[in-house]
Amino acid sequence: MTPITLSKSDAVGVKTDAVVIGVVKLGGGVALPAGTESLNAAYGGKLVEVLSGLGATGKTGEVTKVPGPKPGKSATLIAVGLGAAPDGELKTEDLRTAAGTGVRATKASQSVAFALPTPDADCVRAVAEGALLGRYAFTAYKSGDAADGAPGAITVLTDLARNKDAKAALERAQVTAEAVVQVRDWVNTPPSDLNPVGFAADAVRLGKEFGVKVEVLDEKALVKGGYGGILGVGQGSANPPRLVRLSYTPRKPVTHLAFVGKGITFDSGGLSLKTSTGMVSMKSDMAGAAAVIGATLAIARLELPVQVTTYAAMAENMPSGSAARPSDVLTMYGGKTVEVLNTDAEGRLVLGDALVRASEDAPDLIIDVATLTGACVVALGTKVAGAFANTDSARDRVVDAAVAAGESMWPLPIPAEMLDKLKSHSKVADLANITGEPWGGALAAAAFLGDFVADGIDWVHLDVAGPAFNDGGASGYTPSGGTGYAVRTLVELAASAS
């Protein structure tokens, strides 16, 4: 991971390859935020004029590069647009995005100092997270000179460098960013190199490293336990399924959270085969499981006083002579039966098993994370997750955590009629895995999952099919490919509970 430190050094004299500052949009021009006074003086008090002359407008994500005030001796100045701040205050997400944009404007091997506004510890954390996440690149399969070598150091310039809260904020930023990076790496790894067995082994290895207990149910244990959903989805693949359970139990926990993640390491659609273009990004169908594992490890590393029990349901959904057929009936963990009318609606099947098992632990709140439906992407686009819940209070807690973490999320309903349609659509089982209607797919999937949560337990379902994987270009601190979405929300939820 990129080394990062806090420093009270002046932005003019700091030894680094580049200095990143912010530029605020103000009326028809730009203005410099607090903390850039010395830099402005180094340019003879005309830095705003210099930036304006180069076309800077302060628009969010805009980058303007300026030679250092002492040619050949000082760092390159990178001015990043912060947008407008009508109330005079910048949001932490603005700073996080600016830091990511600034670091992406440099080479990975260059050292960078950030002279962005840091009036409090939350702003310090936002700048650090944005810088660390913005520097991410997946180079495991690149050859030759594709990788730039060792990452250059990052320095956050702040008057709070010796402040206890700021130091704690930096630690949290580092730990959380490392968890997000691990999740991105998992999601970006080709499915030929990340199947359920290997994915589970990674969880075991990291659990040992960070003091988290990890148990793995293999195919024999799944058969013995009656996990019909996970087995049904995985039976068509040469790579057998797994159910991974992670547990972190601190002394005197203030609450008990259960995380459940969808871990389909590749989704072909099964016999209900996807189109060829529809399969291209389906290595990312395990992003939910990756996120809940990553978040659990981060919470343990931060020693937050919250008990966490996590279930990652892993399978590969493939067509073959042994694959589940449309009209097959699966007996789920706990005894409920499901008629599979579309084998491409498989995520809800593995999650159903895991939700029943998670309910047996009697947590205070269950949160599942899943790249579950294309319908949610149609409704909310590619950058916003859908939040469903069985209680408004539980949903609001998670959405509030997402807002604080800088991850976009929007509440969606679970109409009672959706569960009725799932039950009535099967003539032979307790319920079908689809309603048979072309609309409301995300709502129907949520209704299906909710039927596997025990009565009396608060539950929130996050459909992250849009924001978990970025098919477009990088922006801010978000790269192309796996994004690590939901890790920061889950860590924030745990931190706010403590």
Q: Which of 59, 91, 167, 274 is catalytic?
A: 274
Catalytic one among 348, 395, 397, 488? 348
344 in Cβ contact with 445 (< 8 Å): no
Question: Residue 310 to residues 261, 354, 367: CA-CA distances in angstroms?
Answer: 8, 9, 9
How many CB atoms sit inside 10 A of residue 246's CB?
24
H helices of 242-373, where?
Answer: 276-279, 287-301, 347-359
* Contacts for 308 with CB less than 8 Å, ≥ 6 apart: 246, 247, 248, 256, 257, 258, 259, 296, 299, 300, 494
CA dihedral for 315, 369, 478, 302, sign (positive or negative): negative
For residues 342 and 253, give the distance between their C-alpha atoms in angstroms, rounded to a whole number. 42
Report the alpha-carbon angle 353-343-227, nearest 5: 20
Cα torsion angle, 130, 132, 133, 137, sign: positive
Give residues with Cβ within 8 angstroms of 129, minimum separation 6.
96, 99, 173, 176, 177, 477, 488
Q: Using alpha carbons, select from 93, 95, 133, 131 the residue that is nearest to residue 112.
A: 131
Residue 162 annotated as catalytic = no
Query: Which tokens hold the place of 167?
Result: 């130091």
Strand-strand pairing, 365-370 and 29-31: unpaired
- Terminal alpha carbon distance of the chain: 27
Q: Is 274 a catalytic residue?
A: yes
Those residues with Cβ within 8 angstroms of residue 91's Cβ, 6 or more apart along the chain or in another chain: none
- Residue 390 Cα to chain centre, angstroms: 23
Report which residue type is found at 281.
Answer: S
Positions marked active-site: 274, 348
